[in-house]
Amino acid sequence: MLVAIAAACGLAYGFWRMRRRLTDRQRAEDERMRAFMTQAMPAGAATPPLNPPASSAAPKADPAALSQQQFLFDAATKAGLAGEAALSIQLYARLLSRFPETALAAQARSAVEAQKKKFGKA
């Protein structure tokens, strides 16, 4: 009986430690993403886009949404160039989930396929 109680307590402690490690890891990942996004963010001035939209007809949206779309696209592109294929795929996915009708959607989808190929080789 005492052995069963000790085993149950040991399992409970193990699950508690595993959950704590996962939350710490998630918190650290969020902090790294925040730091990367702050570093990749343009310093006050509007910078020209790395890859301008292919179509000449821009979607009718507010400038803040357009700048956020371009920012996510540029950050994902820079992450891909830096060899961070997983981060790049995550940023492209975030762009496509938030703005599915963006002018950058076709470029983002093709870049995701290229990053998946790179990620599969690594």
Note the pLDDT tens digit of each residue in 63-119.
778 888 888 889 888 888 888 888 888 888 888 888 888 888 888 888 888 888 877
pLDDT, tens digit, 9 for 90 and up, residues 3-62: 999 999 999 999 999 999 999 999 999 888 888 888 776 655 444 455 555 554 444 557
Residue 97 within a domain: yes
Q: How far apart are CA 61 and CA 99, in angstroms?
A: 11
- Please tell me the predicted confidence (pLDDT) of residue 51: 53
- Please tell me the predicted confidence (pLDDT) of residue 69: 87
Q: In what helix (H) or strand (E) does residue 103 lie, and over which residues does it extend?
A: none
Same domain, 11 and 64: no
- Please tell me the predicted confidence (pLDDT) of residue 43: 58
Q: How far apart are CA 115 and CA 18, in angstroms?
A: 31
Same domain, 59 and 83: yes
Q: How far apart are CA 83 and CA 5, in angstroms?
A: 49
Q: Which domain holds residue 91?
A: 55-122
pTM here is: 0.48
- Please tell me the predicted confidence (pLDDT) of residue 47: 45
- Please tell me the predicted confidence (pLDDT) of residue 45: 40
Same domain, 68 and 115: yes
Residue 48 within a domain: no
Residue 12 within a domain: yes
- Number of domain units in the chain: 2
